[in-house]
Amino acid sequence: SRTDDKEPTWVLQGKKLVKIREFKGKVYIDIREFYEKNGELLP
């Protein structure tokens, strides 16, 4: 599944997300687990 970000994003499981990012001309795979605080998802 993908979100509506500019960066391609997939949900792995629960609140674990994978994004493909470009930073300073290099492509990175960003894997993060988020938690919810006050209704907002934070890494």
Q: Give the burial string for 5-35 (b: 16+ CB within 10 Å, else e).
A: eeeebeeeeeeebebeeeeeeeeeeeeeeee
pTM over 0.85: no
Question: What is the pLDDT at residue 5?
Answer: 60
Q: Give tens-digit pLDDT for 3-38.
A: 556 889 999 999 999 999 999 999 999 999 999 999
